[in-house]
Structure 1
């Protein structure tokens, strides 16, 4: 299939299921012409001002920044009167900058929400403009995306869309990335098969011993709180504690119960504690964020890190001499490997500030529109790669990627499935999301507290978290019912959920 002769999107998406996409990736090797990725600004019909204007955008950066820096340069060349200020910040800083900017009227025109702020909160507090009123030809633009990207209650409320999932969510962010030389010296080859959690701990200890103070077995961004929850949650999920996110906590949608007293959560936490107690964790881990931890790996600071595919293109570009490889997440109970489940929608949601000027909103709509075109998606897929996969499957197929990126996408094809959604089943549950309040401390904060010793009884802390999350879900459901929603806890129970399979329309029809 040449770059000039492609399947139609409709035909392609019929074959681009989890299995179909894997076959296509393997067959094509992702080596089509790189010129398809040239950024060509496509007119959206937006009414862009001819007056001088400064447009401000903030997100979490990483490999996304490679695309945006290239795109914004082209955009400013096409619109010389537009000056774009792009800030790529760690999540810790976004958590401070965005709410402060909203309060004092200096927020960026486009931003990613802090991880602790749900879309419902942002909508209820008036942070966000409805994209229906911002993006030109919105309904046709929205219809160009695969089904399930935009979902009432997930990306919008009351018939309005407030969040644009800029990328696919068919990936996970806790797989193994490792220094090949260090693990070879330790006598370990993760390519030989899935690594058990015990082997992971033992390998970290051996690498640390070999390093003799010069390098350590494991590193993570410990002051970026969400990383603690991500590691524990995904270790437990792959061992069988299946769940989906609801608000800022998790629900086992096979039973409708909060899962935190499942012993697998304690086992996952124990892995982190064993690494700590063995002295295998890089000193200073608690004071660095995830990008800082990632940057230490090519410097030889540690043998292993559990992060996501966004590291791959960054290291290939910035550290071409760094010999690294990737593998799946270590398993608590090998050979048990339950796929990670993701819900409808996507990832890397971006929003438009409700208080942005009309001129800024027009620019935002023009840029968002570009990402809904084939040209925009191919450019994204080539420049960002597997780090944050494009949403259009045919764009991934047409992009020019490195072999390691292709391997990551193939791994996710095997290890990620689409789970059920209470909102797809009963749209009235969107009203529950509007009522949900953050549970604090949440899983990530609890795990961090256990690791640092601030929380002494891990089992009691998880039981307390489960009780608080359970009560909050009940409270939010009752509040939604009082306002007229027809919803109950039964809407959060999918007894036919098989986590090894995508949960599709046929499964909803069985309920």
Structure 2
């Protein structure tokens, strides 16, 4: 038993058990594979695979077909909606029906905690697969834990998820230049107003998926970076302190709220997931929609009639003269072998197929997140807007420092971190609903609660033997607009 497993707390067990409360409701959705030996037990029968990468369905079906041709083992594939993935997985775990391969989207716990709760187990990649991965691809505390590999990236870290996607037809109809998209908050407001005024009844300036809190949080985190916050997910790089109440966060949230107050937001989005919002936006309900690079892949695959109208601008900044910048840690793993699965050898062989140059070219062609090998984009047939956005990423996105690389014992703290609710996305929901009042006060409360949660986790981890100080989250020598590479750690 590793350190992470030994430090599993009673609170974690209660959190996992609490998922059973929704099992009766969701069982009728029949999203889990049928009970029996073929799902996660034994060495025979098909492997089971769940993921939320909608644009990659065809690609992975091709991989599964090749795997079956090579090994005789079929793969039963169940695509999931991003917003529903976490609940479906919790129900499946409660009923001992986890698929062999899964993603961690919606589980809302650090990977060390998920390992401790037997969600994941290590994989054994083939020698060819390991040789194909660049040396920096596998990071301890992200992909490897205790020296064992649990996952690996298929995507590149150079990306942000708040690009300004728009409907070229509505923009041109409004008398705007689609080749000069808005870049500042004020320019966006003016453009959204022009689209709403000229688009006719039922057309608004802006669409947002208010019913999907994680996506709200992701986008505000990235808009805050572009607005001047020098940190990641609320943590200031130099001090290691939580600072959701920083001016850049406040400005980004207040900007969104002002668009609502100006009548530019499509009404009734409180229940919309990203799939709902994107489909309605593509149908002409709004001119602009903030989204990640996968927007192009989803449109081409599922909303093809809109593809010729699709275009994109960079992430917005608060004021003219500011350059877009974003910071992201090492790209996380895409797929995991479930803890209860008895198919480690088969799954490891299957996952090893996702490290080849041909896979990266096909990954680029399906236009989800950019492939680990960015050069593959130039070799693939992609939508012009996707190619443009990937080019911007290479000048606008930088590698962030990773606290666990500074002190591996931070993993033991992460394994003890309690859920922070309301988190950033939920706080944004509450502000839109008028339940939380002042933006800065609500965000400062989030900072305080986040700090308190870390203090609690740190105390518990120290009692169990972890040697960690608050200073281990701080990088006082960090400099903006440069990658924080392995040689920069103390």
- Shorter-chain-normalised TM-score: which range? 0.7 to 0.9
Give distance in 1, aligned partners of 2:446 and 2:298: 36
CA distance in 2 between partners of 1:274 and 1:67 (Å): 41
Residue 168 (1) aligns with residue 160 (2): no
Secondary structure of 1:58's match? strand
Counterpart for residue 485 of structure 1: 466
Q: Which residue of 1 aligns with 2:351?
A: 368
Distance 2:397 2:261 in 1: 32
Asked if structure 2 preserves the Cα contact closer than 8 Å seen for 1:221 and 1:290, the reply is yes
Contact 2:296 2:385 (C-alpha < 8 Å) held by counterparts: yes
Give the CA deviation at 1:196. 1.0
Contact 2:142 2:332 in 1 (8 A): no
Q: 2:219 maps to what in 1?
A: 231
2:206 to 218, 224, 228: 218
CA distance in 1, matches of 2:333, 2:277: 21
Match of 2:242 in 1: 258
Please say if residues 207 and 217 of structure 1, whose CA atoms lie closer than 8 Å, have aligned partners that are also in contact.
yes
1:377 Cα shift? 2.7
CA deviation map 1:274-323 (0-9, x unaligned): 12112222233222210222122332121000001111133235236631
Number of the residue aligned with 1:305: 289
In the alignment, the residues of structure 2 paired with residue 321 and residue 440 of structure 1 have an alpha-carbon distance, to the nearest angstrom, of 38
Q: Which residue of 1 aligns with 2:13?
A: none
Give 1:437 deviation, angstroms: 2.2
1:438 is matched with which residue?
Answer: 419
* 1:460-475 → structure 2 map (5 Å cutoff): 460-475=441-456
Who is 2:315 aligned against? 329
Are positions 1:388 and 2:376 aligned together?
no
Offset of 1:347 from its aligned partner? 4.1
CA shift, 1:154, in A, is 1.7
Matched, 1:285 2:285: no
Q: How many angstroms apart in 2 are the aligned matches of 1:112 and 1:283?
A: 32
Secondary structure of 2:422's counterpart equals: coil
- In structure 2, the residue matched to 1:85 is 76
Shift of 1:391: 1.2
Q: Which residue of 2 aligns with 1:19?
A: none
Kindly provide the CA deviation profile for residues 26-53 of structure 1, in whole angstroms up to 9, marking residues without a partner as x.
xxxxxxxxxxxxxxxxxxxxxxx99861
CA contact (8 A) 1:204 1:216 kept: yes
**Quick one: which of 414, 429, 437 aligns to 1:448?**
429
Q: Check whether the contact 1:57–1:108 (CA below 8 A) recurs between aligned residues.
A: yes
1:401 equivalenced with 2:385 (yes/no): no
Structure with greater contact order relative to length (CA < 8 Å, sep ≥ 6)? 1
Superposed CA offset, 1:202-223 (max 9, x none):
2222212223323211112221
Q: How far is 1:195 from its partner? A: 1.6
**Is the 1:239–1:337 contact (alpha carbons within 8 Å) kept by the matching residues of 2?**
no
| Aligned: 1:189 with 2:177 | yes
Q: Residues 449 and 337 from structure 1, CA distance in 2 versus in 1: closer, same or farther, beyond 3 angstroms?
A: same
TM-score by length of 2: 0.85
TM-score calculated relative to the size of structure 1: 0.81
CA distance in 2 between counterparts of 1:327 and 1:157 reads 38
Deviations 1:410-437 (A, max 9, x none): 0111111111112222223222222222
Which residue matches 2:36? none
Contact 1:57–1:85 (CA<8 Å) still a contact in 2?
yes
1:459 to 440, 447, 455: 440
1-side partners of 2:186 and 2:156: how far apart?
32
Q: Secondary structure at the match of 1:57?
A: strand
Whole-angstrom CA distance in 1 between matches of 2:346 and 2:311: 40
Measured in 2, the distance between the counterparts of 1:329 and 1:416 equals 11
For these two proteins, the number of residue pairs brought into alignment is 447
Larger deviation, residues 69-78 vs 290-299: 69-78
Residues 168 and 389 of structure 1 are in contact (CA less than 8 Å); yes or no, is this contact kept in structure 2?
yes
**CA offset at residue 55 of structure 1?**
2.1
Residue by residue, what CA displacement relative to the aligned partner does 1:338-360 show, whole Å, maximum 9, x if unpaired?
Answer: 5110112x2462111111233xx
1:378 matched residue in structure 2:
361
Q: 1:415 to 1:293 in 2, by over 3 A?
A: same
Partner of 2:14: none
- 8 Å Cα contact 2:327/2:400 also seen in 1: yes
Q: Once the 2 structures are TM-superposed, how far is the Cα of residue 460 of structure 1 from its aligned partner?
A: 2.1
**How far apart, in 2, do the equivalents of 1:207 and 1:170 lie?**
31
Could you give the per-residue CA deviations for residues 466-495 of structure 1, whole angstroms, max 9, x where no partner exists?
Answer: 111112222323333333333211112112
Cα distance, 1:398 vs structure 2: 3.9
| SS of residue matched to 1:322 | helix
Query: How far did residue 98 of structure 1 move?
Result: 0.4
- Alpha-carbon displacement from aligned partner over 1:110-134 (angstroms, at most 9, x marks no partner): 11113323212211111111113xx
RMSD: 2.4
> Residues of 2 paired with 1:50 and 1:101: CA distance?
18
